[in-house]
Structure 1
């Protein structure tokens, strides 16, 4: 039997904490609008933090499936962006300590990895474990972003009705972690933010805001969000400029708005899942937004 504690190393002594929240997100699975990545990346950029534990990525990652970036300068290699999967200790704007686990999703040893996280959860006396990510939905960007809450106990859920019934889907390390921790009696929950399907491949700061606002509502943690709100406002302005210059896009968005409003009123449709439903002029919508997003990437580089 392998020892799960061999899968990580501690950076000094474990901090003495009282019922902290652990937020986590792993890059590599579905994350429409980069909601989870942007949310936790924003916290790490805005808040002082230190590494508590680092996982052995050599054991957990398949480098050939997600090759790390290296820099070649003229005639030699000058840099290597080493992947890192770590637990960080941070404090919110009120001084309340909490933990952040982030990095690439493990490719292998999922069971040992979840057991290792469970050991850390016990040792750090974690009260709640929470994740967040984005899922593509047939919703317009002109309406409030909703989310689907899920968790190990019914009382952990926020009351938002789920658009899903019973489904079988490809698993993820994040989902398995929630499942295994829940089986051990831990409070584990998550928020899947509903991202407009035509923006799923873009960085959509509004989705990251929705993740962090859901976490605040669920835990009481308070985060600095001004920078993220500014990025969200800028993104919306750019999207509106693109739509206003295209009759086809304007018509398609209006169709989504009517569909969304009818769903909200209970007039039609069982759900707004983008995968199951043909969107109004969907091909034109996706193609024009892909071109728009490519232009944004070129102008930012």
Structure 2
């Protein structure tokens, strides 16, 4: 394991944890719509009380695909300098009350996810981490004018404090963070996380409201105190910028209004306990859906042939 992660043997101040040491996991490159998760990491580093020493460092060369994500380097007149080497590290931070916690941040591993999960396990067990909290954000067809929602998840269902908005099973692309949560559960360690739902038309912009919402959950789950004043002020400024933009762009405003109607209709149905499905109608089976889809494709083929003729 020492080939994948180097863990500092003696960490001053780690004894202040008194049996409670959460570790926040934020990996760049995926699950970061609106730059929300990266903004959380930047905010935590800026707000930490005291220094932020590195207590564990992963061997990035074992995990990073340099050709897929090339680090930046400066060319100055006739030479190169200031190479931005990717770093995947764990830092010791303190909240506004002085309580210690850990921040695992850096680029998401491009390969060897199982090895990465084992390396995270080594950090958890060596440093006495009591809970791993992963953060992310995804684009969703929701309006920014309605309350921002999140998905809560954990490898121990009793740690999920809010009801899930999802019903049934959904197959989604995996991530290193997701695999870590699964594996830690198999190894007897608690892990949970939160995913903010960012309006899809804002996913390419910085959306500090999502970062603030994630940090509110971190405070609750990690029993930490974090100053969110600057982040909330930034979120308010961004909301004002969006509102000004919408007044000048009717087409985008129409999209937002349509999303508002869709959101409100769904919310009313949820509040009244009614389903948006037709009453007393059983859900179709997978085979039935497959046949309907085949008929739909066949119809498209017939239309194409008629158009060609």
Scaled to the shorter chain, the TM-score interval is 0.7 to 0.9
Query: What SS does structure 2 have at the residue aligned with 1:87?
Result: strand
Query: How many angstroms apart in 2 are the aligned matches of 1:265 and 1:155?
Result: 28
Q: Is residue 2:251 matched to residue 1:248?
A: yes
List per-residue Cα deviations over 1:4-51 (Å, max 9, x = no partner): 232112345143342200001111112111111111221012213211
| Structure 1 segment 94-243 matched on structure 2, within 5 A | 94-243=97-246
Asked if structure 2 preserves the Cα contact closer than 8 Å seen for 1:182 and 1:188, the reply is yes
Query: What SS does structure 1 have at the residue aligned with 2:82?
Result: strand
List per-residue Cα deviations over 1:141-194 (Å, max 9, x = no partner): 111101010110111112132325312222211100001001111111011111
Aligned to 1:288: none
Q: Which runs of 5+ in 2 are unaligned?
A: 278-309
| Structure 1 segment 42-81 matched on structure 2, within 5 A | 42-47=43-48, 48=50, 49-81=52-84
Query: What SS does structure 2 have at the residue aligned with 1:6?
Result: coil
Aligned to 1:292: none
Query: What SS does structure 2 have at the residue aligned with 1:265?
Result: helix
Aligned to 1:34: 35
In structure 2, which of residues 263, 268, 275 is the aligned counterpart of residue 265 of structure 1?
268
Aligned to 2:2: 5
Asked if structure 1 preserves the Cα contact closer than 8 Å seen for 2:159 and 2:192, the reply is yes
Query: What SS does structure 1 have at the residue aligned with 2:217?
Result: helix
Query: How many angstroms apart in 2 are the aligned matches of 1:35 and 1:268?
Result: 32
Asked if structure 2 preserves the Cα contact closer than 8 Å seen for 1:33 and 1:199, the reply is yes
List per-residue Cα deviations over 1:269-298 (Å, max 9, x = no partner): 58xxxxxxxxxxxxxxxxxxxxxxxxxxxx
Asked if structure 2 preserves the Cα contact closer than 8 Å seen for 1:158 and 1:218, the reply is no
RMSD: 1.6
**TM-score, normalising length: structure 1:** 0.85
Query: How many angstroms apart in 2 are the aligned matches of 1:80 and 1:143?
Result: 42
**TM-score, normalising length: structure 2:** 0.82
Query: How many angstroms apart in 2 are the aligned matches of 1:33 and 1:90?
Result: 24
Q: Between 165-174 and 83-92, report the one with greater CA deviation.
A: 165-174
Asked if structure 2 preserves the Cα contact closer than 8 Å seen for 1:178 and 1:189, the reply is yes
Query: How many angstroms apart in 2 are the aligned matches of 1:227 and 1:67?
Result: 32
Query: How many angstroms apart in 1 are the aligned matches of 2:40 and 2:171?
Result: 27
Asked if structure 1 preserves the Cα contact closer than 8 Å seen for 2:74 and 2:83, the reply is yes
Asked if structure 2 preserves the Cα contact closer than 8 Å seen for 1:34 and 1:133, the reply is no
Asked if structure 2 preserves the Cα contact closer than 8 Å seen for 1:149 and 1:162, the reply is no
Q: Paired residues, what number?
A: 267
List per-residue Cα deviations over 1:194-242 (Å, max 9, x = no partner): 1101111211111101100111122321111111112111111111110
List per-residue Cα deviations over 1:86-112 (Å, max 9, x = no partner): 000011111111100000011122111
Q: Which runs of 5+ in 1 are unaligned?
A: 271-301
Asked if structure 2 preserves the Cα contact closer than 8 Å seen for 1:146 and 1:193, the reply is yes
Query: How many angstroms apart in 2 are the aligned matches of 1:252 and 1:26?
Result: 31
Asked if structure 1 preserves the Cα contact closer than 8 Å seen for 2:109 and 2:176, the reply is yes
Query: How many angstroms apart in 2 are the aligned matches of 1:19 and 1:74?
Result: 51
In structure 1, which of residues 78, 86, 93 is the aligned counterpart of residue 96 of structure 2?
93
Q: Which one has a bigger Cα radius of gyration?
A: 2
